Amino acid sequence: MSFSKKIWKRILLLTALVIVVLLFWMRYIQRQKFIYPLRYTEYVEWSAEEYDLEPALIYAVIRSESSFNEAARSSSGALGLMQIMPDTFEWLQGSEEKNYSSEDLFQPEINIRYGCRYLSMMFRRYGILRTALCAYNAGPGTVDGWLSDPGLSPDGKNLTQIPYPETRNYVNSVERDYKKYKELYKI
């Protein structure tokens, strides 16, 4: 076999290998995007802008809270995509002219809007994402108690330990998903 035929054979083999690797990579990315979907984008984008939150964070919270199931209902009574407690929802509505019922939390637009309002309030209150996520999950009263305990928060701002396993797992899940959304979608 001549020298040029050997080179062409190697080039073809290398090209085929690159194509196979690219196909596998594309399937991997598609699978990841199936696992980390973008749903309710209109509501997420509006709420992200309105409440100064990153869309990737909102998607991560929705994925961790309900796996994008708008009819989700937790054993503690939280409802909808972002798992809002009816009492919290009532409080968030405050003195608005139109008051929704807790059943309205199953509507994605309403759930995402109020979930983002609450998440934004927790972030403004605590200034640290991890602490805000703890408050979103366990409630600000609980988190205030944790922050006042030097064994859990030496500086009164950062939680070095999260005593509730459910909250600890939740925060870790949201942080992991948040990074994945940013990586996959560059949002």
Hey, which residues are catalytic here? Answer: 65
The answer to whether 158 and 52 have CB atoms below 8 angstroms apart is no
Tokens of 61: 């919270």
Beta bridge partners of 84: 79
CA-nearest of 133, 154, 170 to 146 is: 154
Closest CA to 179 of 29, 41, 57: 57
- In the chain, the largest separation of any two C-alpha atoms, in whole Å, equals 85
**Dihedral over Cα of 135, 136, 141, 142: its sign:** negative
